[in-house]
Amino acid sequence: MASPTHLEKLLVCTDDSPDSQGACHAALELASSSGSKVVLLQVIPYIPTYELQPMDLMGPATPTVNLELMAGREAAVRDHLKAWATEAANRGVDMEVRVRTSTTEYDGILEEAEVLNPDLLLMGRHGRTGLSRLLMGSVTARVIGHSPVNVLVVPRGVTLSFQKILVGSDGSPGSLVAWEEALGIAKKQRSSLIAASVARGDAEVVLAEEILRELAAAAAAQGIAVETLTLKGRPDAALLKTAQEQQVNLIILGSHGRTGLARLLMGSTTERVIGQSPCPVLVVKRARG
């Protein structure tokens, strides 16, 4: 499997849960084919302790961090991550293991992303604290919402492939950036490319068809063949149904659509698609360089 685009540095996040292993395997696959450097990151949240206060002090207890305990946890995590470093070395992949302590897991991941400035951030859909009733883990959702770079979410037990790609578009700036990313990947990978736009009702069909005509024109200008689908219904449900029926290997979306509000971390359609997708989802946060 070749790299989708030029990727020098990959930041893959793990918490040693089964759901995070898919992202680790995907990172190794990408790196082994493209020569990318992989930074494997695990964040250890601070666990504050509270010392008992004298009876005559009425103020709240002051939280402290047990540095000895944190150092022990960090050493244990580094020791556990050696298995991934060994696998990377066996595949000729340059991997650096990093362990960061932070107030929360998502804060630590975002801090590392700002420092490292990777070309792609890879994550699992859920972590150790993911609840089955939730579509997506809160750490993944918050990282996607604030990440300065594109995020690839890889479900548990799924292999990354670029053979058949589905792109959902509503004509918003975010979805147009996602389309540009999809064209770049499809051109390099010779992927089968499907562009879909969803009309919530009959009144939106004309708009959806116009969006698809513009996408097809952009693809034709680059000599890329594309199949266009005008779908009806709720966007996330329509896209997920299409992904199943078409047996696509990758879904590409923008982080926000036309109805995305600035106060929200991520558009609801993108969040629901990620939470239930049968294949990896690439959330595009910025244009290709």
Residues 6+ apart with CB under 8 A from 233: 198, 200
- Which pLDDT does position 71 carry in this prediction? 80
- pLDDT for 19 equals 84
C-alpha dihedral, 239 to 242 to 246 to 247, nearest 10°: 60
Burial of 77 (0-12, 13-18, 19+ CB in 10 A): middle
- What is the residue-wise DSSP string for 110-146? HHHHHHH--SEEEEES--TT--TTSSS-HHHHHHHHH
Task: Report the C-alpha gap between 246 and 249 in whole angstroms.
Answer: 9
- pLDDT at residue 70, as a whole number: 75
Question: Which residues neighbour 96 within 8 Å (Cβ) at sequence distance 6 or greater?
Answer: 37, 38, 39, 40
Asked whether the beta carbons of 107 and 52 are under 8 A apart, the reply is: no
- Quick check: 25 and 123 in contact, CB under 8 A? no
Q: What is the pTM of this model?
A: 0.86
Query: How high is the pLDDT of residue 210?
Result: 97
Averaged over successive runs of 10 residues, the pLDDT of the chain (289 residues) comes to 73 89 94 93 78 52 64 86 95 96 91 95 72 57 89 92 96 92 94 96 95 97 97 94 97 70 55 91 76
Fold category of 9-50+57-64+69-154 in CATH = Rossmann fold (3.40.50)
How confident is the model at residue 132, as a pLDDT?
40
Under 8 Å between Cβ of 12 and 73: no
pLDDT in tens, 174-233: 899 999 999 999 999 999 999 999 999 999 999 999 999 999 999 999 999 999 999 999
Q: Are the C-beta atoms of residues 270 and 185 closer than 8 Å to each other?
A: no
Structure confidence at residue 287 (pLDDT): 55
Domain 164-284 in the same topology as domain 9-50+57-64+69-154: yes
* Boundaries of every domain in the chain: 9-50+57-64+69-154, 164-284
Q: Directed axis angle between helix 268-276 and helix 235-246, to 10°?
A: 30
pLDDT of residue 133: 38
In this structure, are residues 283 and 270 in contact, taking their beta carbons and an 8 Å threshold? yes
Choose which CATH entry (3.30.450.40, 3.40.50.620, 3.30.413.10, 3.40.640.10) describes domain 164-284: 3.40.50.620
Q: How far is CA 276 from CA 17, 89, 155, 256, 271, in A?
A: 18, 33, 9, 17, 9
164, β-bridge pairs: 192
